[in-house]
Amino acid sequence: MEVSNNDLAYEKEQLSVFERELITFFIEMAQLLNLPRSVGQIYGLLYFAKEPLSLEGVFQRLGISKGSASQGIRFLLSITAVRKVYVPGDRRDYYLAELKLRKLASGFLRERVEPQLGIGAEQLEGLAQLADEEGNIFEKEKVERLQQWHRKATLLLPVIRRLLASG
């Protein structure tokens, strides 16, 4: 997508009531997923943006720190929720939101859920060892139940990824 620098003057405009409400929606979604507020703000702003925004445009329009904006954009890039775009004549990076749910979900699974499942397996193994050492049958049963849930989640994840890839 090519955009001239003159077309990006709106970067410094105030947010409309609609934009503020849309951003609030994405803040709530981010918080539901245990993500920082700034991630929801940035995605919401880029989702509605008519033109790509630079890092400066993001933090100025949202009134957040440059560090929060930079960190949020890096995270959103890592889960493929935003992408960089080229603006002729400008060396800065510009960003647009990814609008396909399939890409959003698969990026989130890859970057947040899969690593957590690996950590969870280690934690559950440690809990199982503790329950064995203490010989508490109640604790052992609870840990075994958690391990069953974990195995099911681990088996389900590839199915979900295939569904996302085919959709």
Q: In this structure, are 86 and 114 located in the same domain?
A: no
Name the pLDDT band for 135 (thresholds 50, 70, 90). confident
Q: In this structure, are 47 and 66 located in the same domain?
A: yes
Q: In this structure, are 108 and 147 located in the same domain?
A: yes
The pLDDT, as a whole number, for residue 7 is 41
- Structural domain for 129, as ranges: 101-166
Mean pLDDT within 34-43: 95
Q: In this structure, are 12 and 84 located in the same domain?
A: yes
- Cα 52 from Cα 79, distance rounded (Å): 18
Q: In this structure, are 45 and 93 located in the same domain?
A: yes
pLDDT at 160 over 80: yes
Which of the listed residues 97, 121, 155 is the one where a domain comes to its end?
97
The pLDDT, as a whole number, for residue 12 is 54
Looking only at the bridges linking them, the beta strands covering 82-85 and 94-97 are antiparallel
Name the pLDDT band for 4 (thresholds 50, 70, 90). very low
Q: In this structure, are 119 and 57 located in the same domain?
A: no
Mean pLDDT within 154-163: 84
pLDDT at 5 over 50: no
Q: Which of 10-24, 63-77, 119-133 has the lowest mean pLDDT?
A: 10-24
Which of the listed residues 43, 64, 97 is the one where a domain comes to its end?
97
64-89: pLDDT as tens digits: 999 999 999 999 999 999 999 999 99
Q: In this structure, are 117 and 154 located in the same domain?
A: yes
Q: In this structure, are 33 and 52 located in the same domain?
A: yes
The answer to whether the predicted template modeling score (pTM) of the entire model surpasses 0.75 is: no
Q: In this structure, are 144 and 81 located in the same domain?
A: no
Number of compact structural domains in the chain: 2
Q: In this structure, are 14 and 65 located in the same domain?
A: yes
Q: In this structure, are 118 and 146 located in the same domain?
A: yes
Q: In this structure, are 93 and 113 located in the same domain?
A: no
Which of the listed residues 47, 65, 97 is the one where a domain comes to its end?
97
CATH number assigned to the domain comprising residue 45: 1.10.10.10
The pLDDT, as a whole number, for residue 71 is 97
The pLDDT, as a whole number, for residue 27 is 96
